[in-house]
Every structure is written in C-alpha cells, then in structure tokens.
Structure 1
Amino acid sequence: MHAHILNTLALASLAIAHGDHQQVPMSGPHKQLWYNTLPGDGGKQADSVFSGISTFGRLPYFPCLASDEESYDIAFLGAPFDTGTSYRPGARFGPSGIRQGSRRLNLYGGYNVPLDANPFASEIKVLDCGDIPVTSYDNDYAIQQIEEGHNSVLMRQPFTDAMKPGQSRAGKTLPRVITLGGDHTITLPLLRSINRAYGPVSVIHFDSHLDTWKPKVFGGAPSKTASINHGTYFYHAAMEGLLKNDTNIHAGIRTTLSGLSDYDNDGYVGFSIVEAREIDTIGTDGIIQKIRDRVGTVNPVYLSIDIDTLDPAFAPATGTPETGGWSTRELRTIVRGLDGLNFIGADIVEVAPAYDTNAEHTTMAAADVLYEVLTMMVKKGPLSIEGSQRDAY
C-alpha cells in the first residue's frame, strides 16, 4: 500500500510538471460517494461518460421552455419532427440520438486542438434546453410549435453582454440556438423565427440534396400542408423573404434531378452550389474558400447541416442516403474552415438512429460536427456589436 501511494504521488507530480494541474475534473452529483485518495485533491470524481442523464456533451440541463429563470449564451434545443420526410422516417429520435452520441465529447476536458479553444470551459454559458414538444399528428401545428418554441429560447437576454447593443432588428444582443433535428422541414420554422429576430439572413447549407424544389415538383401538389416538406422548405423560405438574396450556398450536393431546370430554380431561389465531387479537384481548401467568398464575414449567417452530407459509409442512419459523399474528417475540416464567420444560429438534421450501427457511427458524427460548430461560436464570443467586429479568420 505504501509503495502504491508513493507511485501515485510521483505520477501526480509528473502531471503537474507538464501543466495538467489546470485540468479540473467534472464533479459527480453525490457528495457521499466522493473518494479521498490523495491529500488536498478535493475528493471529487466525475460521473462516468456512460452514466447520468444524456445532454449534449454532458452540458447542464435547464427546461428553458418551462422557465426563463436561467440565462445562457448558446442553447441546444431539440425539434423531434419527422413527418415531412419523403423516404425513411425516424428523425424524431434524432435529438436523443445525437445527445447519446455526444456523451464523450468532453471526456478528456473538451479542448478542440485544431480550433485552439475549449467550448466547455469559457466565459460563454452553454446549456441544453431539452426538446420542443412537437405533435406527430398535425404538420401545420407542429411547424408552428417549432417556430414558437425556438423563438421563445432565441429572444431572451443572454448571459453575456445582455445590456450591450447587438445585431438583432431591435438592436439587442441575443443568444444563439443550435437545434437538433428532426427532418429538414424544421429549418423553415427555424428561419421564420430567425427572421423575426434578425430579418433575412445568409444560409450555408450542407446537404446532398438541393431542398429548393418547387412544391409541384416535390410532392406538394395535393395541399398546402403537403407543399411544405424536407425537399421544399428553402423554396418557401425564399418566397417568404427569409433569405438574403445571392449570399446563400449549398455544399456537398450530389443528388439526381428532375432535370437541369432544378438548377435554374435553385439559382432563382438565391443559392450557389458546391458539388460533392469538387473535393476531388479543388480540395477542402477550395470548398472553404468558395463558401467564405459567397457569404462574407459580416452578414449574419445561419448554418444548416444535413447529416446526409456524409457518405452512408460514415453516416448510414439518415432519411435519404446518397452515395459519393464526404468523409467525417473532410466535413469537420470544411466546417472548421468557416471559423470567424458571423454565425447567429445552426441546426443539424436527418439523423435517424434506427438505421445506425450498434457503434453509433451517425450519432457520433453528428455530435462531433456540432462540436466544431459550438467551438466556433464560443471563439467568436457573444453576438453584441463589439463581438461581431472581431477580426475574422
């Protein structure tokens, strides 16, 4: 026992010499179960990553839709809706699946080496606000629920810079909301909510599909309700004036079309396109540059990520898989390359865990991509005017 203690002390001294004393372990919830092995270590032990209630990245949970007593700078919010999908349903389980896939994000402290920042250890306050209660019986009402639930979380005073002027229409600083979908239909009510706060915004859209189809082309002829689905929501967003014209871009596109007229309509709606196959000619750097040139560093930018941007080899659990996509590494590299842009919100969609492997490939990939998004938002700081004028990457 004596030798064991000496060895432990020696290892602790070595760790301190290398600066690891700055890492503070997460504390478990039960004081009576804390342990005491070394004098002065506080006797605290974190929950295991496989225990406890799942929140995104093991962030603190607060029921933001039930109470406004807690403030935040960035909120994760689930939108479990999948009755706008045209192929595989199941994305209503996306929010819980992504949270499950994110459990080990801060296992070693959460530091993001490529972006040189730790989104879990900063002055920016991040919460998991749970899910919007979404009906599965009435699409019109569900879309209204998503818009109102998102707007309720979006329009609060943030934890940081609450009294400083911001970029919103009212000149106030607002928090950011990262939404866990849900099929891609949810982006329409989210953009409606964003428009109420900011007006028209630029959109970066990672997807294998255009999602700007006219309703008469994509399943929406029978009724107004059917016209809003996960292939037409950007068409409606453009018609409603939610998009800042000619500053929007798709990345990762590789879908089949009804004809070249689909591309013409896409340009009319206000998007340019980066095809998935362009990675073979211009590489990740070329794709990053195309996106940055299109949206600029000043415009408020909304980021929407369909997990089917990834090849099904890396993300099989999605509503409409398309072969020929990017790897998880490539997508994360491209997303990181957008560091410094003026992101005011984001979503990730079409994660349908029922089609995943037992290894949780898709849910982990979705969580890891959002980890990059979260890190960029934390690095950028609050959405006050002061924060938005920082030097862009």
Structure 2
Amino acid sequence: MSSDHLCVRTLIMFYILQLLAFASIVVQGHDQAPLVESDVRPDAKLETWLSKYGKPIDQPFSGFLSFSHIPHAVCLEDEDVSMDIAVLGFPFDTAVSYRPGARFGPYAIRSGSRRQRDIRGYTLSWGVNPYDQGVRIIDCGDIPITPFDNKLALAQMELAYTTILNRPIVSKTSGKNTVLGKDGRDHPRIVSLGGDHTIVLPILRSLYKVYGQPISVIHFDSHLDTWSGYPGSDSEESRINHGTFFAVAQREGLISNSSIHAGIRCKLAGMIDIEHDESVGFQLITTDDIDDLGIPEIIKRIRRRVGDTPVYLSFDIDVIDPALAPGTGTPEAGGWTIREVKRIIRGLAGLHFVGADLVEVLPAYDHAEITGIAAADLVHDFLSLFLSEAPPSRKHLNDEL
C-alpha cells in the first residue's frame, strides 16, 4: 500500500473518532435534567460581608492611611465637611538647612499611628479618650504643596489652613480653654503634621487673621528658630526658612512677647543669639533645666509665661534625643526623653490652645518606625490636651485601684 493511501486512511479514522466523541457528548447532555426556573428562588438573599460579619473594621496594618484610622475627607475639596478638630498634613521640606525629606513626615506619622484607634484611645496618664468626648475629629489629608516655588508654597499653606479654620464646628466644646475668633465664634483646632518647621509661619499668619491678635507660642525644639538669616540669603524668599520663621513672624506682629522655648541645646554664635531671641519675644528653657529645675517647675514656668493668652503649641521632634527619635533633619545630641516631654505636655492642659503641630519627622533616617510611632503618640496627646480643662491628676487611677 502506498504512503498516499495510508495518509488518506489515517485522516478518515481521525475524523470518525472526532464524530464519535462529539456524539457521546450530545447524548450525555440530553441525559441531564434541564435547569428549570423553580431551581432559583427569586427572593433568595445573597450573603454579603456586611450581612455576615458586620461593618468592616480595619486591622492595624490595613485600610486607608488616616491618622489612627479616624474618618477622613479631602477637606479642601469637599466644602461641606465640618469638624471640631482636624488633622492636616504639610508635606513641605524645601526650606531646610541640612537634611531634606520631611515632606514624607505626614505619611510617617500616620503610618506610626496604625496601632492607635478611636475605640482604644483611653490612656491611664490622661484618664480620657479624646475620641469619646462628643467632638468630631477627622483627618483632612495633605495640602498639595508645590515643591518648586517656596513663595507659592507659603501662600498655598496659608490659604489651606485658613480654609479649614473657617469651617463651622460640629459641637460646642465646653471648658475654660475655649478661644473665640474675632468674629465671635468658635473655630476648629488643627493639628498640623510636618513637614519642616517653616510651615508655622503661614499657620501663624492664618491664626492672626482669624483671631485678630498675636499668639503666644510654646515651642519645643533643640533650636531657637529665631535667627535673622543665613549667609547667602539675599532674597526675600531665601530669608524665610526653618531657622528664621519666628523672627519673620515677630516682624509681622503675629506672635506675642509671651512666647517660650523648651528643650533648647543647639550650638550658638554666642550670647548675641540669646539677646536677639529675647527681642523676638521668647524666654528660654534649656535641655539641662530638666535636671536642675525638674518637670513640675518647667511646667509652672511655661504656664506662667503664656498666662491666659491664645496659645499655639509647636513641637519639633528633634527636641527628643536622637537616640529615641533619629528620624529628623537636624539632630542634636543630649535631648529629652519621650516620657519627659509627655509629662510636660500633660501639665499644660487647660491653656487656651488654638492649634498645634508636630514637625521635622524625616523617615529616611528613621529605624523601625520609632520616630514615626513616637510622633503619632504625641499627636494623640495633643488631642487630649485640646479637650482637657486641667492637667490630669492621679485620682482617676487611684480610684480604680
């Protein structure tokens, strides 16, 4: 038999097998019971996550990245959003004198807050949960600040802060620490997440417009930030940076002569720097004073200095020793511990706070998120500080024991 005939027979057998296989499938299909309409109940309710497990609750490591998993909104876009306290990010670092990278500070602080949440916000040291005080606290996201033009960036920050500061509050907060604006009404209080310390200048400009008077500043920092300028800063924009903004604020009449530093330990040109600092309106508490005076005396001096004036709290993370908070732009050895500054902050409750910030967190130099976690914990303290009428006592703890 020729090869041509063999090929023809092979092809015929292949097609016969294909037809047999197809016929088998058809027969099996006819043997199956047809799907009738009664097999699917039109009133059957599909099971969903909500019906089975209830409202989703984020794990510490999941969900949208808002501070402590609190409600969040793009407040600059949604003009119907109102609040009593706002958390607002300032991703800005183009006015630093040493390490850049604090534009990632808001992200790092929010990331450090992942284990914090409103349903577990009670602390023994404060004796309260700031999220359980009948006020609305929301994360307003970040200001989209340009990194290319510092003059424009300052204008953007001021307008963003003023926009949120002029929102109506949700609930009338009680307490002697309430401050009315020049329009005779309460305004939200904002906790700003920096960003380098220059962000305080547009914040103070905004506060002055709303409250109509100079603000006393309690300034936790290892540096004075009242210098008049750096060599080579010969333009108006270059003279505004994270070491000069308080001097600019004083020239603009934004801060009172009842401001005070806490934790200073930086290198100076000499006593001429201290004399200039006093002319800007600050008194001085050094890092070493915590050993010589003790925490109670430091608290007394701060409270006596600011008195009953409207107060703004500005907290540079580098006031803490870099062994405990290495993720910062201008570290100085020999700082205070986190526990020490937390105790001082608790002692300031009841003052007339109109806002606060935590700045100079630089995650590129952090290790295991310890700086971000410390910063997030301090922001939680700021919320309790705003809502406490007096420094917490140990009475609530002693009663429990």
TM-score by length of 1: 0.83
* Counterpart residue number, 1:33: 49
**Does 1:195 find its partner at 2:208?**
yes
* Counterpart residue number, 1:323: 333
Could you tell me how far 1:35 is from its partner in structure 2?
8.6
Q: Could you tell me whether the CA contact under 8 Å between 1:219 and 1:227 is conserved in 2?
A: no
| Alpha-carbon displacement from aligned partner over 1:366-386 (angstroms, at most 9, x marks no partner) | 111111111121234xxxxxx
**Does 1:354 find its partner at 2:368?**
no
Give the alignment of 1:261-340 within 5 angstroms.
Answer: 261-296=272-307, 298-340=308-350
| Alpha-carbon displacement from aligned partner over 1:5-41 (angstroms, at most 9, x marks no partner) | xxxxxxxxxxxxxxxxxxxxxxxxxx933697xxxxx
* Counterpart residue number, 1:237: 249
**Does 1:371 find its partner at 2:380?**
yes
Could you tell me how far 1:185 is from its partner in structure 2?
0.6
Tell me how many residue pairs correspond in the alignment: 341
* Counterpart residue number, 1:24: none
Q: Within 2, Cα distance between the matches of 1:191 and 1:356?
A: 29
CA RMSD of superposed structures (Å) = 1.9
Q: Give the share of equivalent positions with the same residue, in percent.
A: 49
Q: Within 2, Cα distance between the matches of 1:254 and 1:263?
A: 12
User: Tell me, which stretches of 5 or more residues in structure 1 are unaligned?
Assistant: 1-30, 37-41, 381-390
* Counterpart residue number, 1:115: 126
Give the alignment of 1:25-174 within 5 angstroms.
Answer: 32-33=48-49, 46-106=57-117, 109-161=120-172, 167-174=180-187
Bigger Cα Rg: 2
Could you tell me how far 1:54 is from its partner in structure 2?
1.1
Q: Within 2, Cα distance between the matches of 1:101 and 1:392?
A: 26
Q: Which amino acid aligns with 1:241?
A: G
Q: Within 2, Cα distance between the matches of 1:255 and 1:136?
A: 28
Taking a change above 3 Å as real, the CA distance of residues 336 and 220 of structure 1, as seen in their structure-2 partners, is farther
Which one of 186, 192, 199 corresponds to residue 179 of structure 1? Answer: 192
User: Tell me, which stretches of 5 or more residues in structure 2 are unaligned?
Assistant: 1-46, 393-401
Secondary structure at the residue paired with 1:77?
Answer: strand
Q: Within 2, Cα distance between the matches of 1:220 and 1:151?
A: 32
Q: Within 1, Cα distance between the matches of 2:291 and 2:160?
A: 41
Q: Could you tell me whether the CA contact under 8 Å between 1:124 and 1:378 is conserved in 2?
A: no
Could you tell me how far 1:104 is from its partner in structure 2?
1.1
* Counterpart residue number, 1:214: 228
Q: Within 2, Cα distance between the matches of 1:114 and 1:229?
A: 36
Q: Which amino acid aligns with 1:372?
A: D
| Alpha-carbon displacement from aligned partner over 1:282-335 (angstroms, at most 9, x marks no partner) | 121121111111111x21100000000000011101010000100111111111
Q: Within 1, Cα distance between the matches of 2:74 and 2:155?
A: 20
Taking a change above 3 Å as real, the CA distance of residues 220 and 176 of structure 1, as seen in their structure-2 partners, is farther
Could you tell me how far 1:161 is from its partner in structure 2?
2.9
Q: Could you tell me whether the CA contact under 8 Å between 1:134 and 1:145 is conserved in 2?
A: yes
Q: Could you tell me whether the CA contact under 8 Å between 2:192 and 2:357 is conserved in 1?
A: yes
